[in-house]
Amino acid sequence: MKVSRLAAVGAIAASAVVVLSSPAFAHVSVQPEGTAAKGGYAVVDFRVPNERDKASTTKLEVSFPTDHPLASAMPEPIAGWTSKVTKTKLDKPLELHGQKISEAVSKVTWTATGKGVEAGYFQKFPISIGALPEDADELVFKAIQTYSNDEVVRWIEVQEDGQEEPDNPAPVLTLSEASEGGHHGASATEKASDSDDTENAAAETAAPADSSDTTARVLGVVGIAVGVVGVAYGVLAGRRRTTDA
């Protein structure tokens, strides 16, 4: 009886690990390289994992916020991809840092010229944006992910306060406070250095799924192995008892 119970527990543990290792966090997201300070410029990465086993991600469209328009968006060149920045004229010109702007970035589109993001991999799409608003704590970017089989996933759902995370959440960039000295953006030298760093990282943008995803998958495999061993042990023990009888 004890052996049978151990086998059952092993099988249940394996199932639980498989459930926990599901890609709950495998969605399009955005993170700054360093900080994204209010009123300044920042390089941010849109992280796009491929969630399909038999299709590649071949296109990413990111819509920029309209409530806090951004005047500048400069994508970093990525091997195997083309990028296009779309701007739209504003109904009413805005004044940012003493300058009037009549148009703002409305969308940036990346299109694969090759295989795109294949199964088991993710891609980072770096882009320099600004000037970031001074009167907002975060920016919401709605993204559309297209696969090679023409499937489209819309990451456009906005997280509501006090509610569970939606199934297809929109990428959200959290802004940090500007420095006390009022230095909002990087100097020309710093920007050049940042550009060099991001270019060096371009070769690493297409990489296997990140450590959290990899760890979850390893745990899933381990859990399955434990369950199988437990079941097999229970069956063998049962056969031995039958033979001894």
pLDDT, averaged per 10 consecutive residues of the chain (245 residues), comes to: 48 39 66 95 97 96 95 97 96 78 95 96 97 95 98 94 89 90 44 46 48 46 49 48 50
Strands 72-75 and 121-130: antiparallel
Task: Tell which phi-psi region holds residue 34, choosing left (phi > 0), alpha (psi between -120 and 50) or beta.
Answer: left
DSSP one-letter code for 68: S
211-244 and 2-20 are packed helices; what angle lies between their axes, rounded to 10 degrees?
A: 160
Residue 197 in 3-state DSSP?
A: helix
- What was the pLDDT predicted at 26? 76
- What was the pLDDT predicted at 145? 98
- What was the pLDDT predicted at 162? 82
- What was the pLDDT predicted at 228? 46
pLDDT, tens digit, for every residue of 116-129? 999 999 999 999 99
pLDDT, tens digit, for every residue of 189-245? 344 444 444 444 444 445 554 444 444 454 454 454 545 445 444 544 455 554 455
Do the Cβ atoms of 179 and 34 come closer than 8 Å? no
Rounded CA separation 72/212 (Å): 33
Give how far Cα 203 sits from Cα of 23, 46, 78, 125, Å: 25, 16, 8, 12
Note the Cα 101 to chain centre separation in Å. Answer: 31
Give the residue carrying structure tokens 């209010």. Answer: 38
CA atoms in the 13 A half-sphere facing the CB of 8: 5
Helices (H), 23-165: none
- What was the pLDDT predicted at 25? 52
Determine how many CB atoms are found less than 10 A away from the CB of residue 213: 17
Rounded CA separation 24/161 (Å): 20
